[in-house]
Amino acid sequence: MCKHFIYLRVNDPFQIILTMMRSRQVTIKDIAKRLGISPSTVSRALKDHPDISYNTRKAVQELAQILGYKPNEVALSLRTSQSKIIGVIVPEIVHHFFSSIISGIEEVANEAGYYVMIFQTNESYKKELVYSQTLISSRIDGLIVSFSKETTDFEHFNTFVKNNIPIVLFDRVTDDLEADKVLSDDVKGAFLITEHLIQQGYRRIAHYGSPDYMNISQSRLKGYKNALEKYNIPFDKDLVFKCDTHEDSIKLTQKIFSEKNHPDAVFAVNDLTATGVIVALRKTGLRVPEDVAVAGYTNALVSKIVDPPLSTVDQHGYEMGQEAARMLLHRLRKRNSETPFETRIVKTNLVIRESTIKNNK
């Protein structure tokens, strides 16, 4: 057993810092030289190794603190084959939902000692391809991703699987990849908001949705249909439209509501689309909710500040992000195990505001 008794005299610790850190980062060799011991002893003392005497460990750790020593993360990653970096790909950071997801991911990842590298595709499949290759080259430990709206081929993500880099999918998912998944309960959420509209007395409820191939579109349409069925309202395919952006909803709403037999309510797939509906209705002279009710989905910041405030469904993006990060960290700890992939569902809840309250009910 290696025992050292070291008496460290530090008259002016700040002078040591200025001298040793003038042009470079303090290293284990610097500490070893100062104390007259080997670098390997310093390394083990910093890790509180029991083979190193208490006095030596105390002297090494005190000097390391005085000098502001920080481990070299690059060298550490090369030794452990871990970069301590988690990649995140999202469609758009500007959306409150995705920014909330990122905040949740970062909190859990940072607490576990991981950094987060974030890319946004702006709904572009080509950008998603490029960023996937960038993350592979960056030697990330794991990936958390929500696909772009254009993505229908997921082969580029199989590169991660083949390289034993675990993936967690959230919100927009596919069964074509071996991966854990985190979803909000979109069927229940869409059911609740549609049921609320029906209970307020609305019957001709239009639904603005995303492209059919997207799982969120399928789930929210299913919830919408389930509510109509419960209240014996026939499903009318002519009231379902493919429209999921603010700009497109303004154009579509102006067209639909220029006709006589227009809907008396709109349930939109997200809050930005719903705010576009409100803008367009105002231009046509229709009042919300007196003439037409409008409901969204996400509970984004815009839903609280639009006039009138928007009824919506809270997806709890922050909690989804935390859950996605926890799943990925669990997968990293069990990287070589046969742990089955799982799907976790985050509950949604109804948020009622003025845009759907008919006659102040």
Which residue segments constitute the domains of the chain, with CATH numbers given? 13-71 (1.10.260.40), 80-182+317-344 (3.40.50.2300), 186-316+350-360 (3.40.50.2300)
The CA dihedral of 97, 99, 100, 106, to the nearest 10 degrees, is: 150
The pLDDT, as a whole number, for residue 339 is: 84
Q: Give residue-wise pLDDT tens across range 77-111.
A: 444 467 899 999 999 998 899 999 999 999 999 99
pLDDT, tens digit, 9 for 90 and up, residues 147-192: 999 999 999 999 998 888 999 999 999 999 989 999 999 999 999 9
pLDDT of 67 above 90: no
Write out the two tokens for 51.
Answer: 């083979």
- Is residue 340 scored above 60 in pLDDT? yes
| Contacts of residue 91, Cβ cutoff 8 Å, sequence gap at least 6 | 98, 120, 121, 122, 123, 146, 147, 148, 149, 172
Contacts for 149 with CB less than 8 Å, ≥ 6 apart: 91, 123, 210, 211, 214, 244
CA-CA distance, 84 to 69, in Å (whole number)? 19
Q: What is the pLDDT of residues 264-311, one digit of tens each?
A: 999 999 999 999 999 999 999 999 999 999 999 999 999 999 999 999
User: Of the candidates 312, 319, 311, 313, which has an alpha carbon nearest to the alpha carbon of residue 346?
Assistant: 319
pLDDT digits (tens, 9 = 90+) for 20-61: 444 457 888 888 888 999 988 988 888 888 888 999 999 998
Question: Residue 205's closest CA among 129, 126, 263, 136?
Answer: 263
> Rounded distance, CA 194 to CA 209, Å?
13
pLDDT tens-digit series, residues 200-233: 999 999 999 999 999 999 999 999 999 999 999 9
Taking a C-beta distance cutoff of 8 angstroms, is the pair 200, 213 a contact?
no
Least confident of 15-19, 72-76, 208-212, 341-345: 15-19
pLDDT band at 361 (very low <50, low <70, confident <90, very high): very low
Residue 231 in tokens? 């209240």
Instruction: Please say if the pLDDT value at position 70 is more than 90.
Output: no
